[in-house]
Amino acid sequence: MQTILPKNPHLKAILMSATADAESFASYFGGCPIVTVPGRQFPVSINYLEDTLLSLPLNISAPEDGSLCDREGGMELSAEDKLLTVLDEDTDVEVLRTLTRMDEKEIRPQYIARLVQMKLKEGTCLIFCPGKAEIDEVMSACSNILPKHYQIMGLHGTMTAAQQRTVFAELKPGQRRVVVSTNVAETSVTVPGVTMVVDTGLERGPVYKALRGMTRLVTRFVSQAASTQRAGRAGRLGPGSVYRMYIYSSKDVLAQAVSTGRLGPGSVYRMYSSFTFNGMMKQDNPEILTTPLLNVVLLCMQLGWDLTSLEQLPTPVPKKRILTALTTLKSIGALTSDGGVKQGERRPGMPSPTVISDIEANLTPFGHALGALPCDPLVGRFAVLGRAFGCQSTAIRIASALGASKRIFRNSPPLIRDAPSDLLSQDLKVKAWLQSGNRERRDLEHSY
């Protein structure tokens, strides 16, 4: 667009977003105007975890070490001391004790279902979860707890258009609807009739692990901008509520979030703590910084795009990352063995190219096959070679475990969960889990 617009002055392009950094895009397009459309807004009631726990207590066993881990699961924090710095001094003692024991990245389907049963008076409740696995768990809990006049539906990107359209069907008198969705319901799909939102504050996205040299999907906290966008789903047609599953302390941001209703008053229930909220990014990182670059380079080469365009994005991709991706693709056989330098320019002893324009990379048939797989190319290579060596099932199970967005054995004791292990052990665990029933699977999750 940046290249085409100066050549065609009659062309008008309108970029719309509820959460993007408008100023950076305006600068990228030469100082183009910014139009803000506020729309109708009504008060929305924001409820954080410390508020919800007062009306709906939750019993959690104390961790063995009595500490609270930070939101990245790394260093350990002094639980009560850390929470007391962000909570009011008159916080209920039982609420404080529960918060110190909680892992806010753990979805609690039974608690969410009980919350919906208690708070949803009419209309539709929209529940945000990070992925399909969590959606299925919450839907199962709601089916077991909620009365028959509740319609329980899932909403995620793998559903067909026909399946997604069922969310828009009009409710019969006396009916209530529960829609459990990924972040597709933030902006891509507008669920009608929402009067209540339950926000886990979580999403699933790619993160590059330098130690492993590959990208995997991880469950992480959303940005504050995305959290506010989720809250805006409530209060469009009448009184509503939003429950955020985290605690909150900044009254200034709270005042800003309260004005997110569109067509009527609403409430937000957020299922995480204020300590977590204050640690969230203000805005989402540009996707190009978190998207697996091996996949991006493969796609560009399949489409015949110039790789130098990656250096000309609003957030330019560092040249070193592009060159590293090309080197990695060559090492796994996805690129021609000449290194991708233009023919006639490579001599014995010549160093690797340092300018993207000097590279004329060609995909091998193996590279085209990797580009068709919906996973990290390194994981895809493992799966493809497994078939070549006659161990396809084992390779696919291991590849699935390596690229899994949700750790199956997340409830294992820390000593077992964090211990290094070989890939065959991973395969045996996954194979046993797949061959087990629901009750046996829960036992395996705790014992491995």
Domain boundary among 354, 370, 386: 370
pLDDT at position 279 is 62
**What proportion of the chain, given as a percentage, has pLDDT over 70?**
68
The residue-averaged pLDDT of 334-339 equals: 72
pLDDT band at 253 (very low <50, low <70, confident <90, very high): very low
Same domain, 91 and 158: yes
pLDDT at position 124 is 92
Same domain, 415 and 366: no
Same domain, 64 and 129: yes
Task: Give 38-66 pLDDT, tens digit per residue.
Answer: 766 667 888 888 888 888 888 776 555 44
Given a cut of 90, is residue 319 above it in pLDDT?
no
Same domain, 137 and 209: yes
CA dihedral 202, 206, 208, 213 (to 10 degrees): 130
**What proportion of the chain, given as a percentage, has pLDDT over 90?**
19
pLDDT at position 156 is 92
Same domain, 183 and 315: no
The β-bridge relationship of strands 44-47 and 266-271 is parallel
Task: Give 154-171 pLDDT, tens digit per residue.
Answer: 999 888 888 888 999 999
Domain boundary among 284, 306, 323: 284
Q: Buried b / exposed e across 337-374, counting CB within 10 Å, b at 16+? A: eeebbeeeeeeeeeeebeebeebebebbebbeebbebe
Dist CA 92 CA 247 (whole Å):
13
Contact 280, 105 (CB under 8 A): no
Task: Give 279-297 pLDDT, tens digit per residue.
Answer: 666 667 787 877 778 888 9
Given a cut of 80, is residue 103 above it in pLDDT?
no
Same domain, 241 and 331: no
User: DSSP state, 407?
Assistant: -
Same domain, 78 and 27: no
Given a cut of 80, is residue 186 above it in pLDDT?
yes
Same domain, 79 and 148: yes
Give the global pTM: 0.67
Q: What is the CATH number of the domain that holds 231?
A: 3.40.50.300
pLDDT at position 41 is 62
Task: Give 130-159 pLDDT, tens digit per residue.
Answer: 999 899 999 999 999 999 999 999 999 888
Contact 295, 310 (CB under 8 A): no
Domain boundary among 255, 284, 313: 284
pLDDT at position 345 is 46
pLDDT at position 37 is 83
Same domain, 132 and 153: yes
Same domain, 262 and 155: yes
Query: Hey, what are 25's tokens?
Result: 């895009």
Residues spanned by the domain of 166: 39-284
Q: CB count, 10 Å around CB of 208?
A: 17
Dist CA 431 CA 181 (whole Å):
29
Same domain, 402 and 356: no
Average pLDDT, the chain: 76
Same domain, 9 and 83: no
Domain count, the chain: 4
Nearest alpha carbon to residue 423 among 392, 397, 391, 387: 397
Which amino acid, 360?
Answer: E
